[in-house]
Structure 1
Amino acid sequence: MSSDLPTLRWGTVATGLISSWFVQDLLLSRPNAEATHVIRAVGASSIDKARAFADKYLTGQSVSAYGSYAHVYQDPAVDIVYIGTPHAFHRQNCLDSIAHGKHVLCEKPFALNAREAREVFDAARAKGVFVMEAMWTRFFPLVRTLQRLVDIEWAIGDVRRVFCDFAMDMKLASLGPDSRLRNRALGAGTLLDVGIYSLTWGLLALEPEVGEQAERPSIVAPQSLSEGIDVATCMILQYADGRQGVLTSAAFTKTPAAFCRIEGTGGVIVVEGFTASVPASSTVRRPKAPGSAEMQHDKYEFERPGKGFYWAADAVAQSIAAGKTESDIMPWAETLRVLEMLDEVRRLGGASFPQDAS
């Protein structure tokens, strides 16, 4: 591995499943790595949890285990904090990290609503630190290739419609009232947990731009609610030129492998994977020649050791090394745009969080 690669020293906040996937990915040996990652600190709600996490996932690393998040923020050996807590805690975790001058990579959704995200970005701007929402799927080589095929090579002509679904059997009835999937104060429901991926695929396929340069479609969004949380959401995006996105989420079934279909005037792209967050392949189906009824199928796949979190982490390291405070792929304005759309979906569909009234 080249010594010219940027190095980031990470501290992690929370020791749940997503944090375990993240640190394991960062420590994989990869021939095409674009950064060097080391884990320097782990923070948990108790010292026993932190030590158990370090012993299980960080063997061989020089790691400090802390029984509080505050010690991670204060650790001088930490450059950047990875936040893997439930949605409702992201705002405060980000603000606390920023207050100590740490860069931040915060899990999706970045906050419960756009107002909370603006507060975090204002603090980051004032402190001059790098902050990014960890929408890791956007950084997959498969996704970057798909965007090139659609936006630059015009592989299927003009994109007119996108369908994407992310549904999981969350077994909500078996969960206690304090579960993050049932407690409204924790951002419960399908929209922020998985629906954000369906929306992301729609935006990736329908628009070549992100953030302030991107368009703002009109939205229709019925939701099915149970105990005040959405168990199913349908987001219909409508653009002025007729483009449409039909983007859905649900809590009572499992989406088939072919989770996304992108329809253009010259062909179709089908994206497959275990879930919409982890695409495995895309197939471009188009006529072999103009006007021909015979179709050609071009399949695109990429090797993916581990889960794939490292592509976003490498991009973060490269951005920080370049002196940036925002990512070009997932800039602050794009996080805000997505959250504003999710806020509108909840306003239209009826799901709400206590924090919306703050």
Structure 2
Amino acid sequence: MSSSSLPSLRWGLVGTGQISSWFVADLALVRPNAKAKHIIAAIGSSSKEKGEAFVKRWIPQLSPGPKVYAGYDAVYHASDVDIVYIGTPHGFHKQHCLYAIEAGKHVLCEKAFALNAREAKEVFAAAQKKGVFVMEAMWTRFFPLVHQLHRVVHEEKAIGDVHRVFADLSLDQNIASLDADSRLKNPALGAGTLLDICIYSITWGLLMLDADIATEAERPDIKAVQTLSGPIDVASTVLLFYPSTGRHAICTSTAMCKHSGEIDVFARIEGTLGYITVEGVSASCPTAFTVYDKAGGSARRFTVPKPGFGLYWEADAVAQDIAAGRMESAVMPRVETVRVLEMLDEARRQGGAQFPIDD
């Protein structure tokens, strides 16, 4: 496909934190197999100086560069922006989505999409009324390696019937040393490991136990415990149990330690005929998986080249959906975002972590 025939999307970014920096760098990456053309039109930051520094560091090669605004309102209303990428802390997601939707913009909003399922439903209702595309930016689900693993598990049945999944994401974030207004410590911003990183572990459990989410998938029973520091969790363990089959996934997170080494096995999928290990720098960014037979006598390793960070795959998918006139993604549909948030709501209810909006 020639570059002139690719769908084109003009992006405005809201927020200039770490995930936004990775996203904008990936949008600007030159890729021979790109499925869309991405134009970075606008950057909204807490100050113009911070926004200009962000552009200089992450996309200095762009000429002309994006317009930089102090604040976010100008991004929502910019005539040269088709879609707003929201990379602000969780606690701002609902309102920033609603501002963008009201301005008639499509939206790609970082995970966790909202603080709870109720907020997500409010955003999706507004998007439905306005007729715009909205998707949660769960980038991991768009990796070609993940799609390949899903086929190996659910179509090829390489390890037979899956009966158990382990998945973990661990970071050493030293929460106690952070300022009270840090997004990792302030409960009003959705702080804690559950929404920030355990959502990835839960995603792996769902991907490996659900063959299809095109229609509403089975809702597993939730059992959860959390280690708390004040109102937020610094470690969570969430068990997903499927009553219809007895399958379960043990999904964990912690902010108190980091596995050693640059590449770790972060997930294990067990089946009747063997097992699979998945590895990468974290559960959010897989780089390879290996299929083992039950006796351990043979192994097949799979990997897919990944230039940059790997956020362009979701951006390409969004551009293709919008060009086709679709209002949501088949890979990350709205019903799946709500289903996951309802699990997170229940995990917090059982584990004890609290946000001010719970009152």
Say whether residues 1:115 and 2:122 are aligned partners.
Answer: no
Are the aligned partners of 1:212 and 1:334 in contact in 2 as well (CA < 8 Å)? no
AA aligned opposite 1:69: Y
Say whether residues 1:200 and 2:232 are aligned partners.
Answer: no
- Flag structure 2 segments of 5+ consecutive residues without an equivalent: none
- What SS is found at the alignment partner of 2:3? coil
Aligned to 2:129: 126
Equivalents in 2 of 1:267, 1:57: separation in Å?
Answer: 43
AA aligned opposite 2:193: T
AA aligned opposite 1:118: K
Are the aligned partners of 1:211 and 1:332 in contact in 2 as well (CA < 8 Å)? no
AA aligned opposite 1:242: G
Aligned to 2:282: 275
- What SS is found at the alignment partner of 1:219? strand
* TM-score normalised over the length of structure 1: 0.96
- What SS is found at the alignment partner of 1:3? helix
- What SS is found at the alignment partner of 2:313? helix
Aligned to 1:286: 293
AA aligned opposite 1:153: E
Task: Select the residue among 318, 321, 341 that pairs with 1:319.
Answer: 321
Are the aligned partners of 2:231 and 2:355 in contact in 1 as well (CA < 8 Å)? no
AA aligned opposite 1:223: Q
Equivalents in 2 of 1:187, 1:113: separation in Å?
Answer: 9
Aligned to 1:6: 7
1:54 shift after superposition: 2.2
AA aligned opposite 1:46: S
- What SS is found at the alignment partner of 1:180? coil
Say whether residues 1:248 and 2:245 are aligned partners.
Answer: no
Are the aligned partners of 1:113 and 1:340 in contact in 2 as well (CA < 8 Å)? yes
1:247-266 paired onto structure 2 within 5 Å: 247-255=251-259, 257-266=264-273
AA aligned opposite 1:273: G
Are the aligned partners of 1:255 and 1:275 in contact in 2 as well (CA < 8 Å)? no
1:142-291 paired onto structure 2 within 5 Å: 142-210=145-213, 212-240=215-243, 241-255=245-259, 257-286=264-293
AA aligned opposite 1:276: A
AA aligned opposite 2:179: G
AA aligned opposite 2:122: E
1:294 shift after superposition: 5.9
1:129 shift after superposition: 0.3
Equivalents in 1 of 2:11, 2:296: separation in Å?
Answer: 52
Residue-by-residue CA offset, 1:320-355 (whole Å, 9 max, x unaligned): 011000000000000000000000000011111011
Q: How large is the Cα RMSD of the aligned pairs?
A: 1.1
Are the aligned partners of 2:3 and 2:37 in contact in 1 as well (CA < 8 Å)? no
Residue-by-residue CA offset, 1:68-125 (whole Å, 9 max, x unaligned): 1000001000000000000100000000000000000000000000010001000000
Equivalents in 2 of 1:294, 1:270: separation in Å?
Answer: 12
Aligned to 1:348: 350
Are the aligned partners of 1:113 and 1:356 in contact in 2 as well (CA < 8 Å)? no
AA aligned opposite 1:330: M
Residue-by-residue CA offset, 1:261-318 (whole Å, 9 max, x unaligned): 000001101000110001010000015xxxxx46210000111000000000000000
Residues 100 and 294 of structure 1, relative CA distance in 2, 3 Å threshold: closer
224-233 or 74-83, which moves further after superposition? 224-233
Are the aligned partners of 1:211 and 1:333 in contact in 2 as well (CA < 8 Å)? no
Aligned to 2:51: 50
Are the aligned partners of 2:216 and 2:336 in contact in 1 as well (CA < 8 Å)? no
Are the aligned partners of 1:220 and 1:236 in contact in 2 as well (CA < 8 Å)? yes
Say whether residues 1:92 and 2:95 are aligned partners.
Answer: yes
Are the aligned partners of 1:165 and 1:255 in contact in 2 as well (CA < 8 Å)? no
- Flag structure 1 segments of 5+ consecutive residues without an equivalent: 288-292
Equivalents in 1 of 2:65, 2:331: separation in Å?
Answer: 31
Task: Select the residue among 57, 67, 70 that pairs with 2:73.
Answer: 70
Equivalents in 2 of 1:172, 1:294: separation in Å?
Answer: 40
Equivalents in 1 of 2:280, 2:129: separation in Å?
Answer: 40
- What SS is found at the alignment partner of 1:222? strand
1:31 shift after superposition: 1.1
1:212 shift after superposition: 4.5
Residue-by-residue CA offset, 1:5-26 (whole Å, 9 max, x unaligned): 1000000001111111101101
Are the aligned partners of 1:263 and 1:269 in contact in 2 as well (CA < 8 Å)? yes
Equivalents in 1 of 2:303, 2:270: separation in Å?
Answer: 20
Residue-by-residue CA offset, 1:166-205 (whole Å, 9 max, x unaligned): 1100111211111111111111111001000000000000
Alignment coverage as a number of residue pairs: 352
